[in-house]
């Protein structure tokens, strides 16, 4: 769980995690200003704390590194803000362990429940437009590229040049396109999301920056696939996590 100021929702998220299949729960705190770390330790969660804020992508890099060091075969990223239902961990992990898929995405768009769950209309529209453009640029047919609920096999986390990615919000998109670029199988499942005042979100300006970052990454992917450019995020020799 990559965390930043998640004090109010962490316990509720933790309580619904299916402990019968989850061996380790890891939280990386990105220099929160509230009691996130204290609450996590009270719950018995394994906690890693950044001395300074590293950004959403930087926080995830720590999450995955520590999960690999713990010996995980399947890693599920769950935000501690209770936006995504923890109970789906079982299904997502099952799709990975089946051997059929390497990456699983919890899609808020499948099932038409995004708006009913409280997703702001402007974010829904932006999501649909970016997804349409990105599908056309990279030749895929995902329902969305922007969910923060994801599961990965150990092989994916060890082989992708994750350390070449941004420390900002576009990290998610870069990592997903890396998975496609290197031939991994990606699945989606329906994920009803809940938006409350405690749900983590980025402001309009950061959303615009993220949108341009997404389009830039898709454009780089297309050119790299055609051999027209060489980018470190799509280079097998790029920097990888060390377990």
Output the domain CATH number for residue 163.
Answer: 3.90.550.10
Q: Is residue 51 part of a domain?
A: no
Q: Is residue 183 part of a domain?
A: yes
Q: Is residue 213 part of a domain?
A: yes
What's the domain range around 101?
Answer: 71-234
What's the length of the chain?
243
Q: Is residue 48 part of a domain?
A: no
Q: Which residues pair with 49 in a beta bridge?
A: 29
Structure tokens at 163: 């350390």
Q: Is residue 35 part of a domain?
A: no
Cα distance between residue 139 and residue 113, in whole Å: 25
DSSP string, 65-113: HHHHHTT-SEEEE--TTS-S-GGGHHHHHHHHHTTS-SEEEEESTTTT-
β-pairing, 2-3 vs 103-107, is unpaired
Cα distance between residue 109 and residue 115, in whole Å: 9
Q: Is residue 239 part of a domain?
A: no
**Tell me, what's the pLDDT at 243?**
74
pTM above 0.85, yes or no: yes
Q: Is residue 50 part of a domain?
A: no
How many domains is the chain built from?
1
**Tell me, what's the pLDDT at 217?**
97
Chain segment 89-115, per-residue pLDDT in tens: 999 999 999 999 999 999 999 988 788
**Tell me, what's the pLDDT at 200?**
61
Cα distance between residue 62 and residue 2, in whole Å: 9
Q: Which residues of the chain have pLDDT under 70?
A: 197-201
Q: Is residue 30 part of a domain?
A: no
Return left, alpha or beta for 10; rule: phi > 0 is left, psi -120 to 50 is alpha, else beta: alpha
């Amino acid at each position: 769980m990559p965390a930043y100021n998640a004090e109010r929702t962490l316990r509720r998220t933790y309580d619904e995690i299916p402990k019968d299949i989850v061996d380790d729960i890891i939280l990386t705190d990105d220099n929160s200003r509230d009691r996130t770390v204290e609450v996590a330790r009270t719950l018995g969660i394994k906690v890693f704390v950044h001395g300074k804020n590293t950004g959403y992508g930087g926080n995830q890099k720590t999450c995955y590194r520590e999960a690999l060091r713990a010996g995980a075969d399947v890693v599920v990223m769950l935000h501690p803000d209770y936006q995504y239902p923890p109970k789906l961990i079982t299904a997502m992990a099952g799709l990975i362990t089946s051997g059929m898929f390497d990456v699983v995405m919890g899609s808020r768009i499948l099932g038409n429940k995004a708006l009913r769950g409280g997703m702001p209309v402007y974010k829904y529209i932006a999501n649909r437009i970016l997804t349409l453009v990105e599908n056309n640029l990279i030749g895929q047919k995902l329902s969305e590229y922007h969910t923060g609920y994801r599961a990965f096999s150990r092989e994916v986390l060890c082989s992708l040049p994750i350390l070449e990615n941004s420390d900002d919000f576009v990290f998610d998109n870069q990592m997903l396109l890396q998975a496609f670029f290197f031939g991994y199988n990606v699945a989606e499942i329906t994920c009803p999301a809940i938006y409350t005042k405690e749900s983590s979100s980025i402001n309009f300006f950061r959303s615009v920056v993220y949108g341009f970052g997404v389009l830039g990454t898709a454009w780089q992917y297309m050119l790299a696939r055609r051999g027209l450019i060489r980018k470190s995020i799509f280079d097998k020799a790029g920097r990888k996590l060390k377990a």
